[in-house]
């Protein structure tokens, strides 16, 4: 099975103290420590496990600048076979649709049975996977926490309301967005990183992909961030004490007083 996993370089939430930039419309990114997006890391691990079971190849792809190459090498050290860097000044400032447009162009140049994304990236919108599937006119499943590969199709599991699990069968090729917790991503050691350090990673720009530069980047973005702020802290929560009946009675009275009942 040929699998393409879309990954992204994002600020590492465990290694940074975040502050807003002077314009107030983004994080101050000058001194941030970056790593691979957590959801994408689970997707790569799942892809590697599938190939370990039934054979095939895992290719990781990212849209970004030259520094984004580090996340590709990290995932290749993890076990992915190939990496592709989609980089061009024209791509800078792309919104979700722009990123999906760039990825679509790369997907169409290959022959992939399964395209995987993380359910979310650092913007938190969770939109690229669904947009990519729609542009490719392929079946799509989101928030996938289980995959069972089959002949020409896969079964995917999703957690639904009430903690229940649903299983769906999807024909290949298809796009799936992976939820955290689907597996336990393997540790990447120095030995693995050194092994892929000299592997050539192809870079492709707008002309290589046949992408209209005016349809991506800031020029093509239909969604723009106008503000980015830390919400004011509200009053602390009030903890109700006493027996269960006393707590229920107190809660009902408070709901009545606030107009909730």
Is-contact 5 75, C-beta < 8 A? yes
Structure tokens given for 94:
């792309």
Give the span between the Cα atoms of 45 and 210, in whole angstroms. 30
- Report the pLDDT value the prediction gives residue 226, as an integer from 0 to 100: 80
pLDDT confidence of 79, banded at 50, 70, 90? Answer: very high
Give the span between the Cα atoms of 60 and 44, in whole angstroms. 8
- What CATH number was assigned to the domain covering residues 2-220? 3.40.50.620
pLDDT confidence of 122, banded at 50, 70, 90? Answer: low
- Give mean pLDDT, residues 177-183: 96
pLDDT confidence of 217, banded at 50, 70, 90? Answer: very high
Is-contact 26 228, C-beta < 8 A? yes
Give the span between the Cα atoms of 139 and 46, in whole angstroms. 19
Is-contact 7 37, C-beta < 8 A? yes
Structure tokens given for 29:
């990114």
**Dihedral class, residue 76 (left if φ above 0, else alpha if ψ from -120 to 50, else beta):** alpha
Q: Chain-wide mean pLDDT for the chain?
A: 92
pLDDT confidence of 93, banded at 50, 70, 90? Answer: very high
SS3 readout for 160-194: EHHHEEEEEEEECCEEEEECCCCCCCCCCCHHHHH
- The radius of gyration of the chain from alpha carbons, rounded to an integer in Å, stands at 22
- Give mean pLDDT, residues 141-158: 96
């Amino acid at each position: 099975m040929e699998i393409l996993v879309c990954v992204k370089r994002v600020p590492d939430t465990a290694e940074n103290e975040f502050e807003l930039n002077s314009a107030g419309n983004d994080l101050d990114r000058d001194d941030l420590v970056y790593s691979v997006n957590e959801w994408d890391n689970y997707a790569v691990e799942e892809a590697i496990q599938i190939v370990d079971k039934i054979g095939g190849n895992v290719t990781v792809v990212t849209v970004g600048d030259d520094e984004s190459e580090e996340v590709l090498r990290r995932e290749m050290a993890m076990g992915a076979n190939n990496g592709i860097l989609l980089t061009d000044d024209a791509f800078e400032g792309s919104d979700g649709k722009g990123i999906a447009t760039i990825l679509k162009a790369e997907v169409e140049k290959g022959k992939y049975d399964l395209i995987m994304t993380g359910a979310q990236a650092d913007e938190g919108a969770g939109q690229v996977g669904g947009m990519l599937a729609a542009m490719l006119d392929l079946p799509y499943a989101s928030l996938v926490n289980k995959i069972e590969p089959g002949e020409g199709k896969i079964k995917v599991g999703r957690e639904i309301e009430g903690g229940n699990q649903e299983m769906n069968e999807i024909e290949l090729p298809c796009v799936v967005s992976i939820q955290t917790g689907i597996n336990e991503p393997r540790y990447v050691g120095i030995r693995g990183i050194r092994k892929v350090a000299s592997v050539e990673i192809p870079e492709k720009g707008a002309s290589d992909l046949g992408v209209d530069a005016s349809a991506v980047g800031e020029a093509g973005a239909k969604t723009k961030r106008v503000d980015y702020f830390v919400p004011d802290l509200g009053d602390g929560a009030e903890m109700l004490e006493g027996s269960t009946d006393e707590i229920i009675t107190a809660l009902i009275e408070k709901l009545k007083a606030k107009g909730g009942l």
